Chain A
Amino acid sequence: MSFRIIVLAKQVPDTRNVGKDAMKADGTVNRGALPAIFNPEDLHALEQALRIKELRKDVEIILLTMGPPRAADIIREALYRGADKGYLITDRKFAGSDTLATSYVLSLAVKKLEPYHLVIAGRQAIDGDTAQVGPQVGEKLRLPQVTYCEEIQNISQKEITIKRRLERGVETVTSPIPTLITVHSSAASCRPRNARLLMQYKHARTVSELQEETKDYTEMLTNKPYLRIDEWGVADLDAKVEQLGISGSPTKVKKIENVVFAAKESVVLSSDNKDIDQLMKDLIESHVIG
């Protein structure tokens, strides 16, 4: 029996590099202009799976991502690095899901892939920064959980030993398998794409992507079935519609405000002695210092 590892990964807008072109004239962010990337900590999660695959011969890595059709990009990125298969979980009815609804859908998809041994997620996604989906998938699957993994120190068919990175220290724990792990950014970075795998998988496509393409892929898919990325929707997962999307999400967004720099009236000073001395004098006299 193979050792099956399911990696949960999300495609996110690159909120770390809100550069000039992503700023609108009024100082707010133009989200559409941000590149979509593989959530950074999910790459760390994938790397942990790839390392286990190097240790054991029988490992199969499956990447699951829930998102719009273009999220198939990160499945390809995972295949280029050594994942064996990916599923795109996509359906209009999933739109607007909060972490509870998302974890419900992901847990159904994971269940469909039984028997599995590990579910590995990133600690958090940079668009929401919630770090909730991992533990919530764990709860829905009734799995133990080990969050903030920095290093997998030992693994057998029955048990895994993990070093966790906490706010003010580290902790080493053991958990029986199957278990759910979330991976911290202090864990090893993901390896780059592998040239051979890139050649092998560069034509991997979802069915919806194939419908858009002009080239006829039918023959290629018959010869190379591994190039087909399966898509799962509400019906495939037997998901209860009332637990999905906006209706299945207990949290509602009441209001969104863009962070705009409200300029304060500020006194501009130079580095001349005169300016610095005057400033220090003012601060002492107004008892801000001294």
Chain B
Amino acid sequence: MNNIFVYCEIEDGQVADVSLELLTKGRKLANEINCKLEAAVIGHKLEGIEKQLFPFGVDILHLADEPRLAPYTTLPHCEVIVKLFEKIKPEVAIFGATSVGRDLAPRVASYLKCGLTADCTSLVFGDHKETKTGKEYKNLLYQIRPAFGGNIIATIINPDTRPQMATVREGVMKKEIYNEDHKGTIKKIKLDEVLRDELFPVQIVERHIEKQKVNIKSSQIIISGGYGVGSKENFDMLFELAEVLGGEVGGSRAAVDAGFVDHARQVGQTGVTVRPKLYIACGISGAVQHTAGMSESAKIIAINNDPKAPINQIADYSIIGNIEDIIPKMIKFYKKNTK
């Protein structure tokens, strides 16, 4: 049986969260069809990296370790992956829908002439029957994604090409340790056959990558503000509520674009996907691109002065009124009634 493969990204010796999320998903998929989970890390100074990866259920870890492979550039990583795929022929290959993954995966797919589905929000196995030929397929990967600006949800399949390739955004899948004691095997990729000088036409002159400062994904309570919050100053109210409740502050794209709050906090199709136990949407209208990133929250409270705002349709509680009025009341009651 051919295996499930996950491309793992590294920044400063740390495996990216998105890769760990994909390994968690990959492990589940592998168990479902009874195959192994393979992963590759391509970079430099990778000694000991397996300690971060094996607990997530990696059975076979391919390592390509060479100074020229870090930081990431397209062509050498692409070459290493296509040569590896030609050998191990994965059934499924998943990449993060990150600056790196969205640069790399299409190039790999084009080389191998196989299908690639971008920004999947769900990956599950299912069967398929080709209506014309009557040909039946077992355990095809259903790659489910929003399309058309988030207004439709499409299920995409690649019946005849392998690997079945997909990218997934950070925060969309859950990250869960599979087994602390899980041990896989390491396979070192022989690079002298793969890396030729022609693969390094692009040279990095300068690089500034910021550490991720906020991580709203892991927060169980999110107070999110939209354009209706009105100003950066009014957002302070949301930060105060978040602080007393022990949560984080998120925002809609309109609030981010208006400069009320930074991009790392954007929730939605082009931001992060969150599923906290409580999501309070303040002055957010509830466009599909926003709700795509929060509709699975366990409880949703909408605060909006427009009773017709679409957000009210997915909220468990809709408070109709002005945030300036309501949020201070919430803070006050909470402070008074808890220690």
Contact = CB atoms under 8 A, between A and B. Distances in A.
Q: Do A and B come from one complex?
A: yes
Interface of A: 13, 15-16, 18, 29, 31, 98-100, 103, 126-136, 138-140, 144-148, 161, 166-176, 179, 249-259, 261-264, 266-271, 273, 275-277, 279-281, 283-284, 288-290
B115 A251 contact: yes
B74 A144 contact: yes
Identify the interface centre among B105, B201, B221, B299: most chain A CB within 10 Å of its CB. Answer: B201
A266 B106 contact: no
B148 A15 contact: yes
A145 B115 CA distance: 20
A148 B326 CA distance: 42
Contact of B278 (A18, A250, A271, A289): A289
B192 interface: no
B107 A139 contact: yes
18 contacts: A132-B116, A136-B109, A169-B209, A171-B209, A173-B202, A174-B203, A250-B158, A252-B159, A257-B152, A261-B314, A268-B320, A270-B320, A270-B321, A271-B320, A271-B329, A273-B329, A277-B329, A283-B299
The CB with the most chain A CB atoms within 10 A, among B106, B205, B329, is that of B106
Interface stretch (B32-40, B62-70, B305-313): B305-313
Contacts of B157: 251-252, 254
A100 B110 contact: yes
Contacts of A251: 115-117, 156-158
Nearest to A283: B278
Nearest to B142: A254
A276 B322 CA distance: 12
B150 to A, nearest CB: 7
Contact of B107 (A138, A148, A249): A138
A246 to B, nearest CB: 11
Given A144-B202, A254-B156, A168 B209 contact: yes
B111 interface: yes
B142 A267 contact: no
Interface in B109-146: 109-111, 113-119, 128, 142, 146
Majority SS of interface residues in chain B?
mixed
A253 to B, nearest CB: 6
Nearest to B126: A254
Interface in B282-339: 288, 298-299, 301, 307, 310, 312-322, 325-326, 329-330, 333-334, 337-338
A135 B103 contact: yes
B112 to A, nearest CB: 10
B245 A100 contact: no
Contact of A172 (B205, B313, B314): B205
Interface in B36-83: 71, 73-75, 78
Given A128-B147, A253-B155, A280-B334, A267 B317 contact: yes
A280 B337 contact: yes
Contacts of B105: 132
A252 B141 CA distance: 12
A289 B221 contact: yes
Contacts of A269: 317-320
Contact of B151 (A15, A168, A250): A15
B277 interface: yes
B115 A167 contact: no
A255 B103 CA distance: 27
Contacts of B151: 15, 18, 29, 258-259
B210 interface: yes
B315 A171 contact: no
A173 B333 CA distance: 54
Q: Which 5 A-B pairs have the closest CB atoms?
A: A15-B149, A271-B321, A250-B115, A251-B115, A169-B209
B209 A166 contact: yes
B196 to A, nearest CB: 13
B102 interface: yes
Contacts of B202: 144-146, 173-175, 179
B221 to A, nearest CB: 7
A103 B318 contact: no
A171 B206 CA distance: 6
Contacts of B212: 168
Nearest to B111: A139
Contacts of A31: 148
Interface in B209-264: 209-212, 221, 245-246
B110 A136 contact: yes
Contacts of B153: 256-259
Given A256-B154, A271-B326, A280-B334, A250 B114 contact: yes
Contact of B118 (A16, A18, A129, A270): A129
B79 to A, nearest CB: 11
Contacts of A266: 312-318
Contacts of B245: 289
A259 B150 contact: yes
B154 A255 contact: yes
A136 B115 contact: no
